[in-house]
A and B are shown apart, each in its own frame.
Chain A
């Protein structure tokens, strides 16, 4: 598949670069023209990524749209792109959130517009690039490329402590990633290729001691990005100081890269080390869930509250990943998307009142629902989506993760479930303090409700929140095969019985895939069936 004669993945990675040139060509004095150009470019990019759906075959387990060319021949680095269902969803999320973030910046950013949009577009190149690269060097290049625009977005258009937050973000993430670079080189010294597909095809893994070291180096890179407790300290600073669009992209996409890294690289490349570190990582994930939620409860600043809630939510994702069951892993990937939707939306929500009032302190507000009914409704839906109300997206993801975790260790589920309760507490309390009660602060008297443009930014997110909540099948379907592939490597025992049964001639449905978490009503049932199977296999 191609667009304008360019293979589609190359096109979607580098189209924003063309957008940069377009933004440069617009005279800087014509501010609205600059804004419009950026919005059109990101919208086109989103449409182009939707184009992926046309040729994408959800039933295929292999990488699709693969592009392969020599890049640096002498060191066997290739220009190797390809996507599966996991990357597909994340790419769609990226292009959608970038578009919405650009749209939301119309009024929020007034100075140095051209640079601002150029950095957003360059950021998009890096983000999409990370999700499509299957060569480790190429992946690393995109992974780092993305840091620079984010550094400037925080440092130039951020809040008061922007300089500090920007460099802290940069240093933390760079530290994690350079260790990963060394690990990538160690991998290369062993396999003599950077091609992830080729490495996986060998079916061999690094020797145990080396694998542990390399896994830990990757872990550092990814865990800082996720971020997991205790590597999360850059996150509140970066989030609070970043401009709204920066926060949306940071929470919506950048955090996903760490989790994506675990799914795409750590699990399939270092399965033994991954299994070995399950106890450590799960404990860190559980701490992240509970600690993030507790700290959120204490926050006075709305942005900070949402920032810490991200730590908690990403803890769920990590728990799901390191449960190594298809159910939980699918839930984790879905939860990445969900978190992108709901937290992205929450940052937009905070951005809207920040634009009007230039404060984010919860105590400054109260009783806004009377003044801003549409805003209140949007906020409510997103709050519910964030706390995982059934019928909305958050529920499906969290439920699948908890179910998956239950089969491995019920204690994990129990601890993680407290995170959900705490999550409901801090979000509802936030909503209550901001929206209900009497409108006492005179500064809030003149607040305007959402404009059409602002409302428009929320529409796609709300639609998605309901869609995933009510009918997640299309999203889960694309994840089936890639997740199965990963689980087969990292947790082969899981499929032993299923395969054995499938091999029997009597076994009626020969699908090796255990229970699709199918349609809307079927989901919990199917999940239950899977759990039962797992339980059976454990008993044996």
Chain B
């Protein structure tokens, strides 16, 4: 590749470069400023995220692929970049409070986050097998470290190891799938593969697709590839769970969608069946298992499995409505999950946080604003209007019905009813039960900011969804 086209491509990478600079500055602050270094690294990263967001808006869309077609800066990637940045900003806000209570500020957190973000933004822009894989690992590896950032806490360490092993397994499956595809076509670029694959051995191509997808299903915590999720979400530090369960999941779905629409488009009939199966299993598994949980992090882990199932309905019913619905849902899901995990940081219990439903009793009296915000979030998670959670489900079910998958939509609707039961155990504890003595409510600024902002966004999008819908539909414009 000549230097001119290299330089031309580089301008589309401005957001990634900004993130890299942010990470470097954060790392230096942490290393060289002794006392407050970690926190300053945090502020640097937060600022860096805002700057990057600006840069994302200012960076032009690439006319096609760049760097020999291994990357593209299209509207689709743009949409997801914004999601990642919002998720990271919320996670960092929550981390400020989290580290304060833990009395140990892991500065690494603040610069591993932008590094993982680079992996995600690259992954959603990748249009080449090798780039996809490298980018995938680039965000996977920092997430393993982030999960185990409290080395001394057993739960965190265990979560990290589990996540690492299963993550490696998923990468391995993915790689195997890629190898088969490459073997059939001799190409790594999506565009070239898409041309050649239909002419190749369909059985092997199908196996390649299934292996490739299976790796992604692991990361997306779609049942039956979900077993790591509850343990990891429970053990990992809460701000990291927010990041993993939203940004990381969105990145995986973005890769999946790009693959569905490029190299695996000829196999649509097959992946429709796969997604239907995953949707049903994930929704039921997630919702039924969540019914018996008492730990909110675990409960939310199962809930996120169920939500991955709702998204899978959208993937199965892929089309004009579904594409908008899935992208819409991912944004709503981001705010719902950030708030639902973030709410744990309101409850101070001894040296840590009150993670059980029982610890959340009486919140409505102690902090009505927090309780009202959480109520909005719970309604959204259940899918009750006038929240964006309802709109998201409504669009997804609509897409399914349009494609004639009425049964799938009905099962999804039925699952909302099941989920009401466990989400509203939290609601009940907050509004209808008396507060326990040993838990203190600390409505600190960053946590409240995340909660209230999420609730406001969820309500606003529930009443006036058109803005985000247009944005989501535009992601598929050429």
Contacts and interface: CB of A to CB of B under 8 A. Distances in A.
Interface string B444-478: 00000000000000000000011001100100000
- 10 smallest CB-CB distances across A and B, nearest first, come from A178-B413, A141-B385, A185-B401, A155-B432, A175-B417, A182-B410, A182-B409, A185-B398, A174-B417, A144-B385
A170 interface: yes
B335 to A, nearest CB: 19
B365, B390, B402, B410, most chain A CB atoms within 10 A: B410
A185 B321 CA distance: 13
Contacts of B56: none
Interface stretch (A145-153, A331-339, A402-410, A438-446): A145-153
B216 interface: no
A188 B390 contact: no
Contacts of B384: 144-145, 147-148, 174
A74 B416 CA distance: 24
A73, A140, A151, A178, most chain B CB atoms within 10 A: A178
Contacts of A137: 394
Nearest to B391: A72
A22 interface: no
Given A171-B420, A178-B416, A188-B401, A163 B432 contact: yes
B69 interface: no
14 contacts: A72-B469, A115-B368, A141-B390, A145-B384, A152-B431, A166-B432, A174-B417, A175-B414, A178-B414, A178-B416, A182-B410, A185-B397, A185-B409, A188-B401
A181 B398 CA distance: 9
B466 A73 contact: yes
A75 interface: yes
A179 interface: yes
Contact of B395 (A75, A175, A178, A182): A75
Contacts of A186: 401, 406
A178 B385 CA distance: 11
Contact of A74 (B365, B401, B409, B473): B473
B420 A72 contact: no
Given A72-B469, A74-B470, A155-B432, A178 B417 contact: yes
Interface in B365-417: 365, 368, 379, 384-386, 390-391, 394-395, 397-398, 401-402, 406, 409-410, 413-414, 416-417
A508 interface: no
Contact of A162 (B365, B398, B416, B432): B432
Contacts of A188: 398, 401
Given A185-B398, A186-B406, A189-B402, A144 B473 contact: no
Interface in B407-448: 409-410, 413-414, 416-417, 420-421, 424, 428, 431-432
Size category of the B interface is 35 or more
A175 to B, nearest CB: 5
Interface of B: 321, 324, 364-365, 368, 379, 384-386, 390-391, 394-395, 397-398, 401-402, 406, 409-410, 413-414, 416-417, 420-421, 424, 428, 431-432, 465-466, 469-470, 473
A170 B386 contact: no
A523 to B, nearest CB: 42
Given A140-B385, A178-B417, 10 more contacts: A74-B473, A75-B398, A144-B390, A151-B424, A152-B432, A155-B432, A162-B432, A182-B397, A182-B409, A185-B398
Contacts of A74: 324, 466, 469-470, 473
A167 interface: yes
A156 B424 CA distance: 13
Contacts of A189: 401-402
A151, A170, A185, most chain B CB atoms within 10 A: A185
Interface in A176-194: 178-179, 181-182, 185-186, 188-189
A220 to B, nearest CB: 11
Nearest to B432: A155
Given A73-B466, A144-B390, A156 B409 contact: no
B395 A145 contact: no
A189 B413 CA distance: 17
A166 B465 CA distance: 30
A336 B420 CA distance: 30
A73 B470 CA distance: 10
Contacts of B391: 72
A474 B183 CA distance: 82
A512 to B, nearest CB: 39
A383 B409 CA distance: 47
Interface string A57-78: 0000000000000001111000
A155 B431 contact: yes
A152 B430 CA distance: 11
B410 A167 contact: no
Contacts of A155: 428, 431-432
A170 B465 contact: no
Contacts of A145: 384-386
